[in-house]
């Protein structure tokens, strides 16, 4: 359809490209939109900035959850299920797009969308946003401009019809979800379903980290949340040890020990990860630290050190044989 429809919103034009079905969906706080989108520059080439189909996963936003690009909620509210529409949005509506796009790209890359953000108020955050890490988005930040959004709406679900994603939960919902996720993780560990258990622990940690971001570091509220985070991270690391993901264990335990350098369990798990990747000196140092911090773990440490010594001796013998074989082969040439 070539006709352009003006929504009752300043600076927005809508063109229906493919009609939808039924009436406009009835919305309430917590309703979820699922849709594909394409973002283009309003230039001669209609340069594509983002395309959710390339990531292969539709976009989802929750009504009333303060999505940074508020205009998207308005645009989607004007669409019927199955409709494809093109929206031209003036600069007054697109100023936050670079930050929204950065988060979506990081999620698509398997990274934390909040990575690099620090707990600061107002003016401080402006400096964190100086660079998005993507040249095209940095350009949009420096030079705000009208954008074109092409959207295809797949479905609208009531809040009771879907499992709430962590980021969509309120503070109270996140706090209530943590012990449930912790318990589910423990149940899965007993069934030796370590990958699934790790996912539960990780989701619980994300809930708490999101809440911590709103607290001042090392003050009471932050510390209470940190006390809940620590055992979840340790459980997650134990699952990763079982799965053979030793370098991930090294990363997370080291990060934990930077904040809590007296945590014997963190040293113990890091020592086991070091031992698994043949870092003998580091493993021994961490095991000795465990015995010093928690004498009740001395027997477990003694057992681990004995196993480490046996493994290292066996490795040295195998290495010596391999080197001798290589030397004899080179002599025969």
Model pLDDT for residues 212-240, shown as the tens digit of each residue: 888 898 999 999 999 999 999 999 999 99
Model pLDDT, residue 47: 94
Angle of CA points 134, 135, 139, to nearest 5°: 120
Tokens coding 215: 């607290």
Mean pLDDT value across residues 206-217: 88
The pLDDT of residue 130 is 61
Mean pLDDT of 134-146: 89
pLDDT > 70 in the chain, percent: 84
CA distances from 65 to 43, 60, 73 (A): 32, 12, 10
User: Does the pLDDT at position 174 exceed 60?
Assistant: yes
User: CA-CA distance, 231 to 158, in Å (whole number)?
Assistant: 35
Residue 63 CA to residue 278 CA, distance in Å, equals 51
Q: How confident is the model at residue 122 (pLDDT cuts 50, 70, 90)?
A: very low
pTM of the model: 0.53
Q: What domains can you pick out in the chain, each with its CATH number? A: 4-157 (3.10.50.40), 171-318 (1.25.40.10)
Q: Are 30 and 163 in contact (CB under 8 A)?
A: no
pLDDT at 121 over 80: no
Spatial neighbors of 215 by CB under 8 A, at least 6 apart, are 119, 221, 222, 225
Distance, in Å, from the CA atom of 42 to the CA atom of 11, rounded to the nearest integer, reads: 14
Predicted pLDDT at 106: 77
DSSP secondary structure string for all residues of 275-297: HHTT-HHHHHHHHHHHHHH-GGG
302-332: b (≥16 Cβ within 10 Å) or e: eebbeebeeeeeeeeeeeeeeeeeeeeeeee
Bridge partners of 84, per DSSP, are: 18, 152
Q: Which of 70-74, 161-165, 240-244, 317-321 has the highest mean pLDDT?
A: 240-244
Mean pLDDT of 25-49: 90
CB 207 within 8 A of CB 171: no
Q: With 90 as the cut, is the pLDDT of residue 330 above it?
A: no
Return the pLDDT at 76: 93
- The DSSP H or E segment spanning 241 is helix 220-243
Quick one: 114 exposed, middle or buried, by C-beta within 10 A (0-12, 13-18, 19+)? middle
Residue 123 predicted with pLDDT over 50? no
Distance between CA 30 and CA 15 in Å, rounded? 27
Sequence-separated (6 or more) residues with CB below 8 Å from residue 277? 246, 247, 250
What average pLDDT score do residues 311-328 get?
A: 73
Asked whether the beta carbons of 49 and 55 are under 8 A apart, the reply is: no
Confidence of residue 168 (pLDDT cuts 50, 70, 90): low
Mean pLDDT of the chain: 84
Distance CA(289)–CA(268), nearest Å, equals 8
Query: Does residue 149 surpass a pLDDT of 90?
Result: yes
- In 3-state terms the chain splits into helix, strand, coil percentages (rounded to 5) of 55, 15, 30
Provide the pLDDT for residue 62. Answer: 82
Angle at 107 between CA 104 and CA 112, to 5 degrees: 115
Mean pLDDT within 17-24: 91
Is 291 or 9 the better-scoring residue by pLDDT?
Answer: 291
* Of 330 and 271, the one with more pLDDT: 271
Tell me which of 138 and 29 has the higher pLDDT: 138
- Is the pLDDT reported for residue 134 higher than 80? yes
- 44-53, 124-133, 135-144, 230-239: which range is least confident on average? 124-133
């Amino acid at each position: 359809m070539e006709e352009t429809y003006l929504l009752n919103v300043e600076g927005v034009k809508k063109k229906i490209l493919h009609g939808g079905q039924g009436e406009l969906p009835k919305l309430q706080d917590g309703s979820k939109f699922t849709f594909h989108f394409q973002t283009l520059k309003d230039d001669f080439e209609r340069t594509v900035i983002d395309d959710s189909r390339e990531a292969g996963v539709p976009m989802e936003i929750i009504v009333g959850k303060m999505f940074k690009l508020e205009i998207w909620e308005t645009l989607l509210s004007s669409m019927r299920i199955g409709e494809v529409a093109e929206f031209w949005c003036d600069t007054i509506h697109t100023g936050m797009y670079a930050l929204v796009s950065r988060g979506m790209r990081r999620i698509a890359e398997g990274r934390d969308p909040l990575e690099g953000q620090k707990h600061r108020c107002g003016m401080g955050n402006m400096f964190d946003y100086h660079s998005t890490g993507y040249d095209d988005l940095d350009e949009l930040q420096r030079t705000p401009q009208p954008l074109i959004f092409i959207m295809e709406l797949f479905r609208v679900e009531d809040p009771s019809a879907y499992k709430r994603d962590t980021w969509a939960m309120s503070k109270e919902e996140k706090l209530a979800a943590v012990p449930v996720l912790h318990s589910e993780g423990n149940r899965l560990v007993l069934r030796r379903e370590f990958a699934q258990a790790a996912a539960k622990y990780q989701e619980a940690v994300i809930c708490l980290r999101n809440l911590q971001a709103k607290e001042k570091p090392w003050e009471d509220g932050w510390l209470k949340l940190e006390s809940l985070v620590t055992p979840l991270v340790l459980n997650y690391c134990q699952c990763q040890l079982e799965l053979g993901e030793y370098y991930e264990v090294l990363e997370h335990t080291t990060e934990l020990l930077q904040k809590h350098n007296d945590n014997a369990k963190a040293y113990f798990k890091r020592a086991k990860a070091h031992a698994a990747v043949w870092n003998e000196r580091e493993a021994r140092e961490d095991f000795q630290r465990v015995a010093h911090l928690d004498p009740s773990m001395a027997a477990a440490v003694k057992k681990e050190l004995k196993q480490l010594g046996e493994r290292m001796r066996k490795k040295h013998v195998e290495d010596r044989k391999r080197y001798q074989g290589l030397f004899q082969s080179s002599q025969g040439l």
